[in-house]
A = this chain, B = another copy of it.
Amino acid sequence: MNDYDVSITQISECTFPTPLKFAGRDPSAAIRYRQDADRVRVFPCLRLGEDDGQDATFERAGPREFITGDPSQMTAAILTCGGLCPGLNDVIRGLVMSLSHHYGVRKILGIRYGYAGLATGGHPPVELTPETVDDIHRDGGTILGVSRGKQDVPAMARTLLDWGVDQLFVIGGDGTQRGALELSEEFERLGAPIAVIGIPKTIDNDILWVDQSFGFDTAMEIASRVVNDAHVEARSAERCVGVVKVMGRDSGYIAAYAALASLEANLVLVPEVPFSLDDKGGLLDFLEERIQEKDHAVIVVAEGAGQEHFENAEAQKRDASGNRLHRDIGDLLCDKIRQYFNAKQLPVNLKYLDPSYSVRSAPACSTDRIYCTRLAHSAVHAAMAGKTGMMVSRWTGHYVHVPLGMVTQGRRKIDPTGSLWRTVLESTGQPCLSNGKPK
């Protein structure tokens, strides 16, 4: 537990007094500079009497009194990668505003379509200024565009060097952050003092060492409304089952939170908790009981749940980013439910809702908007302080620097015996659907 390497790599020493300005004024009398010795504990929980030696700490984010050089001579670049997520434009806006207004950076490049924009023969970047980003937070999506798929790291590094980039801000998921780590290592190998700072973005909330990823509050708000829509449909016809499929490839956070927020789901299916379909005590059994008793039911299913119910589960395809392509669990569930009740001469009405694009493309809600701004400012302060190969994050409520090496070691998942999943069980009253065996 204790051997996490929480140290952050520096591109160079910090000897240049920060020109930090808010509204053209030196804020040093009004604020507190952070030092690298300011830390946040990695492990806030413990069991008394057990010496677990969990004393690892993350560096705290925030402005440093000395930075690596003169920002007015620096070039920054920003890219967004992967799927859409509420708040992308807020992060871009926050980065540009901080680079420009707080530090006086004069050249900020917006890379088009993620890593594809850095590949050989990619799209030329656009220049970003406070004026061009002033209103972009009102729209969902990203003004820079996204793409999926890996690109050649040395080629990307060369492009960035050609463009004279000093700081690269990479907004993306775990695959994207792995790319950021490789880029930072490539620059180290080349002896190029270029800061690579990650900002964690995942609609699935599945990045390690982040309290919660930005856009997630917005996502659950929208998804939970669709669960309510399904509930309205389910209650308005005889023997009616509403099925809502939400995103969640390996982690069922959206499904869990949308169900909790709507308070109307009767079953939540997530990748982390396998379930029986046809067995006694399985999903169809439970559903029949519920329909007999209440005449309607609502199921919330994460796209990655129940993959064990597909034949040839081994032979799965992967998308351009290397993510496993899931077969549609929503379709499978609908088929199985229809067959089961038809066989019992009790045909059900099935209402299948898939709000994924509306969840992804929404503009950020208030909490996400603020969170994006604070992540962005933290990222700029980190880059100015010469940090690289790291990601900004909020951890136990505090903004911190997390080494990318820690981030890319896995994916965050719901603990099936933890308090979130317990609250789902408490709230839905759903039984264990796996032959009584907890996972």
Binding site for B on A (CB under 8 A): 22-25, 27, 29-32, 35, 37-41, 44-49, 57, 60, 62-63, 84, 93, 97-98, 101-102, 113, 116, 135, 137-142, 145-147, 211, 217, 220-221, 224-226, 228-230, 232-233, 235-238, 242, 257-258, 260-261, 263, 351, 353-355, 357-358, 360-362, 365-367, 369-370, 373-374, 377, 396-399, 416-419, 421-423, 425-432, 436-438
Contacts and interface: CB of A to CB of B under 8 A. Distances in A.
A146 B349 CA distance: 12
Given A397-B397, A432-B30, A257 B46 contact: no
4 A-B pairs with the lowest CB-CB distances in the bound complex, closest first: A23-B429, A261-B366, A396-B396, A232-B361
Nearest to A219: B366
Contacts of A373: 260, 263, 423, 427
A237 to B, nearest CB: 6
25 contacts: A22-B429, A23-B430, A29-B437, A31-B425, A38-B45, A38-B48, A40-B45, A44-B396, A62-B422, A102-B426, A113-B237, A138-B139, A139-B232, A140-B229, A140-B232, A145-B237, A147-B237, A221-B366, A226-B358, A257-B366, A258-B366, A260-B369, A260-B373, A261-B370, A396-B397
Given A31-B422, A39-B47, A260-B373, 7 more contacts: A32-B422, A40-B45, A40-B46, A41-B46, A46-B57, A102-B426, A142-B236
Contacts of A436: 29
Contacts of A438: 29-31
Nearest to A424: B22
A369 B369 CA distance: 19
A141 B357 contact: no
Contacts of A437: 29
Q: Please state the number of chain copies in the assembly.
A: 4
A221 B84 CA distance: 22
A187 to B, nearest CB: 27
Nearest to A418: B32
Contacts of A237: 113, 145-147
Contact of A48 (B57, B361, B419): B57
Contacts of A116: 238
A362 B229 contact: yes
A431 B47 contact: no
A380 to B, nearest CB: 10
A236 B146 contact: yes
Nearest to A355: B358
A41 B45 CA distance: 6
A32 B373 CA distance: 37
A37 B46 CA distance: 8
A421 B139 CA distance: 26
A204 B263 CA distance: 26
Contact of A31 (B226, B362, B417): B417
Contact of A211 (B31, B113, B360, B397): B397
A423 B432 CA distance: 45
A288 to B, nearest CB: 15
B353 A358 contact: yes
